[in-house]
Amino acid sequence: MNDAILDIAGPLGNPNDMKHHSPVAVVCGGVGMAAAYPIAKELKKEGNKVTSIIGARTQDQLILENEMRNVSDKLYVATDDGSKGCKGFVSDVLKALIEKGCQFNAVYAVGPPLMMKAAADVTRPCCIRTIVSLNPIMVDGMGMCGACRVSVGGRTKFACGDGPLFDGHEVDFDELVKRLRMYQTEERVASQFFANHA
């Protein structure tokens, strides 16, 4: 009855800018769809014409396809192996749509860093505003540990406090990918440990 919570921190980070940017594209891959869905949903709620491009390695790994379809004016699917939709990457579909004359005032990209980098590389020559959602390893969520630091526009930012959304054309993705790979050995050991003790 007299339960209490000692400390609460939050909300952390910055809210998404869900204004009317119509038309917009939401490009997402893998588990990035879990974060992209509420973005697409809110963009649609704000009256935007939303084109969603979702992808995964295989058809079996696609998630939230129906949910994304319900909040999109158009939905395109890409799989690495061609088991569903276009064979290739979501950035390939984005590039093909732009080359066909589809106009986007903004692109939201959510997913693996290399996917977001590819999307930003597609939109850069066209000067299309591209917002990426970064999710590097975060330890304390307040920017004190520095684990989630990223270089954006030549300046150090923290995804937990300054993000998670950043201008995709200013993110140093090469540095981000190197930093994420620093913990691969520890992640593999932890994964094996939990698999053996599940």
Q: Which amino acid is at 62?
A: L
Output the pLDDT for position 1: 67
Amino acid 129: pLDDT: 96
CATH topology of domain 24-196: Rossmann fold (3.40.50)
Number of CB atoms found within 10 A of residue 18's CB: 16
Divide the 198 residues of the chain into consecutive groups of 10 and give the mean pLDDT of each group: 76 77 94 93 95 97 96 98 96 98 96 97 97 87 84 95 95 94 88 89
Could you tell me the residue ranges of all domains in the chain?
24-196
Instruction: Write down the pTM of the prediction.
Output: 0.89
pLDDT tens-place string over residues 109-138: 999 999 999 999 999 999 999 999 998 888
Dihedral of CA 70/13/62/109: which sign? positive
Token pair for 121: 């590389």
Number of residues that this document lists for the chain: 198
